[in-house]
Amino acid sequence: MTKIVLLNLPFGRLIQRDYGCPHEIKAAYSWPPVDLLLFGGAVRDTAALSYLDCLAGRFSWAECLGRIGALRPDIVFTIISSLSLESDLRHLGELKRVVPAVRVWASGDVVFFTDRQFAAIDVLVRDLTNGEAIRRLVAGGAGQGAVEPGGGTTFQAGLPPHELITGYGYAMPYSRYRNITSVLTNYGCPFHCTFCNSNGLPFRKRPVEEIVRELQYIQGLGIREVVFRDFTFTLSDTAELCERIEANNIRLAWSCWTRVDTVDRELLRKMKAAGCYLISYGIESGDDAILAETGKALTMAQIKEAVSLTREAGLEVLVSIILGFPGDDVRRTISTLQRLDPDYVAVNLLEPRVGSRMAAARPAPAADGAGRATPAVPANLPALRAAVEKGFYLRPRKLARYLLLALRSRQRLAIFLRNAVGLFRKWRRSR
């Protein structure tokens, strides 16, 4: 039987490589990378799987190499990212020298959205839902090749190996429990935001019956919480899925990401009854003109209504914003957040993703006097982000709200405290 290690490479700081969307972690949290789970689900019936997350496990590269060497795998499947590419390729080159017989497979944004070839990588996985092609190449002992995008409007993910991830203490910054896991109900995105690359992945839905089987399996492992990692959860057959979750007595707490224009009062009620406790909305800006210019195709009126309905349904709300759009006004952003008054906010800095229309239109970075590329993110944005976060989180009313939520769960209290420390450390570095 083919031996495969599912590997999240180490890096000098905590980042999340996942689903073509790498980003820096804002506090002290992580979730199981969807890429590793999907690949594992595709091959678990014909391969012996091991799982090694060097970031979540805080493993050094030397320790990681030692573990891989002891396992003597035929294949290492990993994720490379634009955030960590130089480090990733250096590690994989060393891995090939230490374990010369191993074949390295990889996914990631630079794999999905560019035509680059990498000497340290044997097989490029450009579609994680093309399980048939993955299995065929594994069975054939592929020395080199690529898993290209498949067709169709649906996909099957099998049963991802959630049993392998339970020792890592994964949790979102707002989680109710530790040792959460990730699940997909759809793949890709049909929307056209200019700053995002997820619309470069063909949109496909997953059969509700298969999702229910996966959730039952997760519950049987003793895992108590799931994050639905879809870009837009409510584009799936969400009402049916919620009904099936209730009918099958699945008692998992869960959260999801979605768009404000895809929810209504009845759907939110069903989500709450099925175990949802938090929805994350990407609103990006408090300016209708910017929302239109970036292809987000939302208005502040829609955003306000969805947040109000979500709160009315008894669900917690996280809103995600982006600082740095041309013409953006940070004061307007702060005012928007105060008016919406979500439970949590994720403040991101504009950095168009590899494969996005905005990245394609951006000129190459200029070089400084020493020939080094100038940073893509303006130097003042990290400090502005810290100011927005402090202005939101350090209000007495918000702190009282978090204390009330934390007192209901000892695990949540620990998660809140851990991420508060992470935020303060980041604020100190941004000075």
Secondary structure of 240-286 as H, E, C letters: HHHHHHHHCCCCCEEEEEECHHHCCHHHHHHHHHCCEEEEEEEEECC
Q: Identify whether 183 is part of a domain.
A: yes
Q: Identify whether 217 is part of a domain.
A: yes
Please report, for the domain that includes residue 128, its CATH number. Answer: 3.40.50.2300
Joined tokens for residue 164:
């392998």
Q: Identify whether 423 is part of a domain.
A: no
SS3 171: strand
Q: Are 135 and 211 found together in one domain?
A: no
- The Cβ-side half-sphere exposure at 300, using a 13 Å CA radius, reads 13
Q: Identify whether 343 is part of a domain.
A: yes
Q: Are 114 and 8 found together in one domain?
A: yes
Judge contact between 112 and 141, C-beta under 8 A: no
Judge contact between 351 and 26, C-beta under 8 A: no
Q: Identify whether 312 is part of a domain.
A: yes
Determine the pLDDT at residue 335. Answer: 87
Blockwise average pLDDT, block size 10, the chain, 431 residues: 97 93 90 98 96 96 95 97 96 95 97 95 97 94 90 95 96 96 97 93 96 98 98 98 98 98 98 98 94 94 97 97 89 88 94 89 53 50 90 93 90 94 89 70
SS3 46: coil
The terminus-to-terminus CA distance of the chain in angstroms comes to 53
Q: Are 201 and 266 found together in one domain?
A: yes
Q: Identify whether 160 is part of a domain.
A: no
Determine the pLDDT at residue 364. Answer: 52
Q: Identify whether 221 is part of a domain.
A: yes
* End-of-domain residue from the set 147, 179, 195: 147
Supply the DSSP string of 99-127, one letter for each residue.
STT-EEEEESHHHHS-----TT-SEEES-
Q: Are 182 and 293 found together in one domain?
A: yes
List, for residues 402-424, the tens digit of each pLDDT value.
999 998 888 999 999 999 999 99
Q: Are 175 and 318 found together in one domain?
A: yes
Nearest to 91 by CA among 109, 76, 101: 76
Q: Are 35 and 131 found together in one domain?
A: yes
List, for residues 247-275, the tens digit of each pLDDT value.
999 999 999 999 999 999 999 999 999 99
* End-of-domain residue from the set 361, 387, 408: 361
Judge contact between 225 and 177, C-beta under 8 A: yes
Q: Are 199 and 117 found together in one domain?
A: no
Q: Which residues, in sequence order, are CB contacts of 6 under 8 Å at separation 6+? A: 36, 39, 40, 49, 50, 51, 52, 77, 78, 161, 164
Q: Are 221 and 283 found together in one domain?
A: yes
Joined tokens for residue 329:
């006004």
Q: Are 41 and 135 found together in one domain?
A: yes
Q: How many domains does the chain have?
A: 2
Whole domain around residue 275: which residue ranges?
171-361
* End-of-domain residue from the set 335, 361, 387: 361
Q: Are 217 and 305 found together in one domain?
A: yes
Nearest to 108 by CA among 31, 159, 33: 33
Q: Are 135 and 217 found together in one domain?
A: no
| Whole-number Å distance between alpha carbons of 133 and 123 | 12
Q: Are 204 and 243 found together in one domain?
A: yes
Q: Identify whether 46 is part of a domain.
A: yes
| Whole-number Å distance between alpha carbons of 360 and 229 | 26
Joined tokens for residue 93:
């080159």
Determine the pLDDT at residue 332. Answer: 85
379: buried, middle or exposed (CB in 10 Å: 19+, 13-18, 0-12)? exposed
Please report, for the domain that includes residue 212, its CATH number. Answer: 3.20.20.70
Question: Given the DSSP bridges, would you call strands 186-187 and 204-205 parallel, antiparallel or unpaired?
Answer: antiparallel
